[in-house]
Amino acid sequence: MRSFTYERAADAGSAVAAVSRAGAKFISGGTNLLDLMKLDIEKPSHLVDISRLPLREIEELPDGGLRIGAQAANSDVAADTRVRTRYPVLSEALVSGASGQLRNKASTGGNLLQRTRCPYFYDTAAGCNKRDPGSGCSAIGGFNRIHAILGASSSCIATHPSDMAVAMTALEAEIELLDVDESVRRVGITDFYRLPGDTPHLETVLRPGEMITAVLLPPPPPGRQLYRKVRDRASYEFALVSVAAVVSVGQGTIDAARVAFGGVAHKPWRSPEAEAALTGRPATMATYRDAAEAALRDAVGQGGNDFKIELAKRTLCRTLAQAARSS
Amino acid sequence: MSRADAGAAVRSQSERSQDERNQHQTNQGRPDQDETAGLLSVTLNVNGQARQLDLDPRTSLLDALREHLRLSGTKKGCDHGQCGACTVLVNGRRVNSCLSLAVMHEGDEIMTIEGLGDPDDLHPMQRAFVDCDGFQCGYCTPGQICSAVGMLAEAEAGWPSHATADVAAPQVVLTDEEIRERMSGNICRCAAYPNIVAAIRGIAEGGTE
């Protein structure tokens, strides 16, 4: 690992000031950043430790929502009684990711910002526009079994690895950001992430120095929430495809639906097409299949991951059927 | 030997290692930088004892324990958070010490396998692993045991897992499926899994404690 200097931020204001120097990065749980530093993929010259900032609380919001501090550990969010009862899709997504040890360290903000697990991003001998802009994409035409089928570009076909962020997308979470001038802004999670386009090294709309301070959950949407994850191993593995769904059924008809996919794109993939195909329609497999076809209409396989298109459709159908049954 | 004596044994071992550590630091070849430039002072509370160290900020908690404090019970497997051999308890919670910077743990309570027990005074989980033959080569075992101790505390607190049918349920029933899911961050290349599960199940059911 390359050498770096280290400081522990005393408060949020000094944290954003400290990280605005060239080569500086925040560190919190470190479970992704330190891994990438060992592999010479992340090369910060200065680390600003924000893990002890007073941003660990999970608090009620006046509107009935929840404010999750950016330093709250993944395990604390997953185990929070309010999350488990009011936002079970978030708890389910969190416990489907990583291991118990990693969830105890990983922070909410860090989970949002974790980097892709594309093997070419990890292989410094391979071309990767995300790691080294302009060096090409070795995944295109390479081994691309785990790669994107939606929203990819000729520069990058990587996927976002988070489960948590997929559930937060279905819950229409907002990300609270503290800027270097100490102004605060909120960005909806769907707008927080970028598609790769020709700048796949830019993954979010974070400005230089800006820090995630909280995730705000609106009041829970009506209906049954479910997270389903399909992967190569039964545990401790990233998703090939995952679905976060919220489905409200009354008298056999779907009143409202939210659908987000994981493992299929450069960002958690909300599907307004699927939601439109579900709303006001009977809660039947034919409806689910229509929604799945609508969601994956623009999907493009890369060879190794062609199977993901059908897998995503079937995963959505099964998740919707289960949600509607228990709604 | 009592638990207090075990602590004394750890201390005397650590005192012996003080000289070794100094030697280690002097001998460590880092041609790219001055030997002591950039070292940071950190105090870790390891197995009940405050230990002050001067460390390169890059030093992982795992390397601080193994190379600087000579507590080699904690194992280095993958060094990337994938195998769980390096699992220790930090403030009572299990974490991968390989993906932790030691300097980030100022003042934290670190519990390693040496602090849980020793051959003359085994922790109940260590005893259960012996009784159930929960290992073959033994390399993953310290991590398995620290992880299992942390995991049982999580289950006791009602934390759900991916194997939990209803994450809102207030209590956890530690079925074999639950134990396997919750221990999936600890790999055993000898595949002693059935006996590891049996050892943990025995403790979870209060059989050995």
- Of A61-75, A124-138, B11-25, B131-145, which gets the smallest average pLDDT? B11-25
Chain A hits for B78, Cβ within 8 Å: none
pLDDT classification of B18: cutoffs 50, 70, 90 = very low
Chain B hits for A27, Cβ within 8 Å: 101, 104
Of B32, B56, B184, the CB nearest to A235: B184
HSE-CB for A98 with a 13 A CA cutoff: 25
Per-residue pLDDT tens digits of chain A, which is 327 residues long:
999 999 999 999 999 999 988 999 999 999 999 999 999 999 999 999 999 999 999 999 999 999 999 999 999 999 999 999 999 999 999 999 999 999 999 999 999 999 999 999 999 999 999 999 999 999 999 999 999 999 999 999 999 999 999 999 999 999 999 999 999 999 999 999 999 999 999 999 999 999 999 999 999 999 999 999 999 999 999 999 999 999 999 999 999 999 999 999 999 999 999 999 999 999 999 999 999 999 999 999 999 999 999 999 999 999 999 999 887
Shortest distance between the Cα of B15 and any Cα of chain A, in A, equals 28
| pLDDT, position B25 | 41
Chain B interface, best mutation among A7, A45, A50, A104, by max B CB count within 10 A: A104
B109-111/B40-46 β-pairing: parallel
Please state the ipTM of this predicted complex: 0.97
A165 touches chain B (CB under 8 A): no
Chain A hits for B197, Cβ within 8 Å: none
Q: Is the pTM of this model over 0.80?
A: yes
Dig out the tokens for B35 from the structure: 């030997």
Q: What are the CB-based long-range contacts (under 8 Å, 24+) for A292-301?
A: A292/A316, A292/A317, A295/A259, A295/A261, A295/A271, A296/A149, A296/A150, A297/A273, A298/A150, A299/A149, A299/A150, A299/A264, A300/A149, A300/A150, A300/A152, A301/A149
| pLDDT, position B206 | 86
| pLDDT, position B8 | 37
Asked whether the predicted pLDDT for residue B16 surpasses 50, the reply is no
Tell me if B81 and A85 make a contact (CB, 8 A cut-off).
Answer: no
Distance between CA atoms of residues B84 and B186, nearest Å:
4
Tell me if B184 and A27 make a contact (CB, 8 A cut-off).
Answer: no
Distance between CA atoms of residues B72 and B54, nearest Å:
19
| pLDDT, position B31 | 44
